[in-house]
């Protein structure tokens, strides 16, 4: 029976899970593949951590070069993360003719084009299923299962930390800081949660899957990114009254000559499938011309779900080695010669519905001033709500709009903020309906324009 020898660099949370699966499920994997996967070496600098696996003598090392320089190791599993040492290790592995498995979405989003090209030149594979969606087979679905489909759009919840925070604000009425603290206590958020709550983690993933879906180069710099730190319980309350939930969405739409790629908080109808995705779970809705809408759902992070995806990549590489036909599947699903440069639309060019919350002085004529500004920028109001003032003299004015151009919205809000009656920066949340797949809608959810105000 053939054997594939594996070197694991990084034995933190996910790395430990990979080692557990390879050791505990050894017989199951061997029976399914007809090939034995051998964990030959594990490298990590932390020798004090208590792990749930016990390695045989000589397997664990603190020196990753023992893996990278070992000619008998076929595959390097990189579980270090980041763009420093991980990049160097992957490049050295590729230059040594070793296949690589990684979950490093940040590195792939920033340098995937270069790394994939090097892998192709060296006739080895970079497998990265675990980089997007944890145990959800997002990469495999886009590259293989939907190969006959023209993908028109993708909308997803791709960060469990943000989804947990927004779910808890919705469920319990917590403040953002309270929900974040709770997420950190439960292990759903890092001590420094910036990458998650500011939207960058989801943007890394969106850049990768947009490239696969549309046959384009990875373009992380083109992705518009906005986080959830400005979302308040008041916005959650208004969203609920209007029949929406607020989620951090990763949105990608194919306009043929350009694409939209954006990550930001958005209101989505309560009856949509994505609005029901709570806690730290991820989901991705994909629109194919043959399949229609389909949705993947599952744990986007965590030791065993992510490790399961890593081992699935190892299994694919093992099957290629067994058949001696490695490189069966191009890294981004298209031959390199068919990968195009497709421009990403700037956020200023998108058109969608909007929610504005404006803190205004409780004075006659303020509403007419604000409405006048919106009208000058061709922003049509669908509804406006005014609540009674609370502790301060300011009252919240809430507007829901028909579709408008982002550039016009930004200019209008800047002019509104300059009015002497406005007390703070307006809150803007875009409104999306994943089920419409980008179709234009000129009416609200009930089919008629509404006005509930004053």
Distance from first CA to last CA of the chain, Å, rounded? Answer: 77
Give me the pLDDT at residue 388, please: 62
Of the pLDDT bands very low, low, confident and very high (cuts 50, 70, 90), residue 141 is: very high
Residues 295 and 227 in one domain: yes
Task: Say yes or no: 230 and 86 in one domain.
Answer: no
pLDDT above 70: percentage of residues in the chain: 93
Query: Has this prediction a pTM greater than 0.85?
Result: yes
User: Which of 70-79, 169-178, 341-350 is predicted least confidently?
Assistant: 169-178
Angle at which helices 26-33 and 303-323 pack, to 10 degrees? 40
Q: Which residue has the tokens 């990684």?
A: 102
> Do residue 40 and residue 78 come from a single domain?
yes
251: pLDDT strictly greater than 50? yes
Query: In CATH, what number is assigned to the domain containing residue 102?
Result: 3.40.50.720
> 85 lies in a domain?
yes
Same domain flag for 307 and 354: no
The answer to whether 140 is a known catalytic residue is: no
CATH number of the domain enclosing 178: 3.30.360.10
DSSP string covering 398-454, please? EEEESSEEHHHHHHHHHHHHTSTTB-SPPEEEEE--GGGTT----S-TTSS------
| pLDDT at residue 395 in the model | 87
Q: Report if residue 448 sits inside a domain.
A: no
Query: Residue 207 domain-assigned?
Result: yes
Q: Token pair of 272, please?
A: 């949509």
- Domain stop point among 319, 338, 357: 338
The two structure tokens encoding residue 194: 């910036």
Q: Read off the pLDDT band of 326 (50, 70, 90).
A: low
70-82 pLDDT per residue, tens? 999 999 999 999 9
> Of 205, 247, 253, 322, which residue is the catalytic one?
205
CA distance 255 to 10: 40
* Structure-token match 């040594």, residue found: 96
Q: Which of 354, 373, 356, 357 has the alpha carbon at shortest distance from 365?
A: 373
Q: Are residues 233 and 182 in the same domain?
A: yes
What total of structural domains would you count in the chain?
3
Question: Band of the pLDDT at 324, cuts 50, 70, 90?
Answer: confident
pLDDT at 391 over 70: no
Q: Does residue 401 sit within a domain?
A: yes
What are the b/e assignments for 2-35, b being 16+ CB within 10 Å? eebbbbbbbbebbbbbbbbbbeeeeeebeeebeb
Average pLDDT over residues 404-428: 94
Averaged confidence pLDDT in the chain = 91
263 lies in the same domain as 399: no
User: pLDDT tens for residues 188-200?
Assistant: 888 899 999 999 9
> Is there a single domain that holds both residue 142 and residue 264?
yes
Domain extent for 247: 138-299
Domain co-membership, 157 together with 229: yes
Q: What is the CATH number of the domain that holds 390?
A: 3.30.70.260
Checking if the pLDDT of 434 tops 90, the result is no
Q: Give yes or no for residue 392 having a pLDDT over 60.
A: no
Check whether 240 has a pLDDT greater than 80. Answer: yes
Percent of the chain whose pLDDT exceeds 90: 83
Indicate the pLDDT class of residue 365, thresholds 50, 70 and 90: confident
pLDDT of residue 385: 87
Query: Do 295 and 320 reside in the same domain of the chain?
Result: no
pLDDT value of position 436: 66
Q: Is the pLDDT of residue 367 over 70?
A: yes
Would 452 be classed as within a structural domain?
no
Same domain, 202 and 242: yes
User: In terms of domains, do 97 and 126 share one?
Assistant: yes
Grade residue 450 by pLDDT with cuts at 50, 70 and 90.
very low
């Amino acid at each position: 029976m053939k054997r594939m020898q594996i070197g694991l660099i990084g034995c933190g949370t996910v790395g430990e899970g990979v080692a557990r699966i390879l050791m505990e499920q050894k017989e199951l994997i061997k029976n399914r593949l007809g090939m034995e996967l051998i964990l030959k070496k594990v490298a990590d600098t932390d020798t004090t951590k208590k792990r749930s696996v016990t390695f045989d003598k000589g397997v664990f090392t603190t020196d990753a070069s023992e893996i990278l320089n070992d000619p008998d190791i076929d595959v390097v599993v990189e579980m270090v993360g980041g763009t420093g040492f991980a990049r160097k290790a992957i490049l050295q592995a590729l230059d040594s003719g070793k296949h690589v498995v990684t979950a490093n979405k940040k590195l792939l989003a920033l340098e995937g084009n270069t790394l994939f090209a090097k892998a192709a030149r060296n006739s080895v594979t970079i497998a990265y299923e675990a980089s997007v969606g944890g145990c959800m087979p997002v990469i495999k679905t886009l590259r293989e299962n939907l190969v006959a489909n023209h993908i028109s759009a993708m909308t997803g919840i791709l960060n469990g930390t943000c989804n947990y925070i927004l779910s808890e604000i919705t469920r319990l009425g917590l403040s953002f800081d309270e929900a974040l603290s709770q997420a950190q206590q439960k292990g759903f958020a890092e001590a420094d949660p910036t990458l998650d709550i500011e939207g960058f983690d989801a943007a890394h993933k969106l850049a990768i899957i947009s490239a696969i879906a549309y046959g384009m180069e990875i373009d992380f710099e083109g992705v518009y990114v906005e986080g959830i730190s400005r979302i308040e319980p008041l916005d959650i309350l208004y969203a609920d009254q209007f029949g929406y939930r607020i989620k951090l969405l990763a949105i990608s739409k194919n306009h043929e000559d350009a694409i939209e790629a954006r990550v930001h908080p958005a209101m989505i109808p309560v009856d949509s499938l994505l609005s029901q995705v709570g806690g730290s779970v991820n989901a991705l809705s994909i629109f194919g011309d043959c399949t229609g809408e389909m949705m993947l759902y599952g744990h986007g992070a965590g030791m065993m779900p992510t490790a399961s995806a890593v081992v699935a990549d190892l299994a694919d590489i093992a099957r290629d080695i067994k058949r001696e036909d490695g490189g069966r599947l191009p890294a981004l699903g298209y031959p390199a010669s068919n990968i195009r440069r497709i421009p990403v639309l700037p956020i200023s060019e998108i058109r969608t519905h909007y929610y504005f919350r404006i803190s205004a002085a409780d004075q006659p004529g303020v509403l007419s001033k604000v409405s006048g500004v919106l009208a000058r920028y061709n922003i049509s109001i669908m509804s406006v709500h005014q609540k009674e003032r609370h502790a301060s003299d300011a009252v919240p004015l809430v507007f829901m709009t028909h579709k408008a151009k982002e550039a016009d919205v930004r200019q209008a809000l800047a002019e509104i903020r300059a009015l002497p009656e406005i007390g703070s920066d307006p809150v803007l949340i875009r409104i999306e309906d994943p089920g419409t797949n980008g179709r234009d809608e000129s009416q609200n959810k009930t089919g008629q324009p509404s006005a509930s105000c004053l």
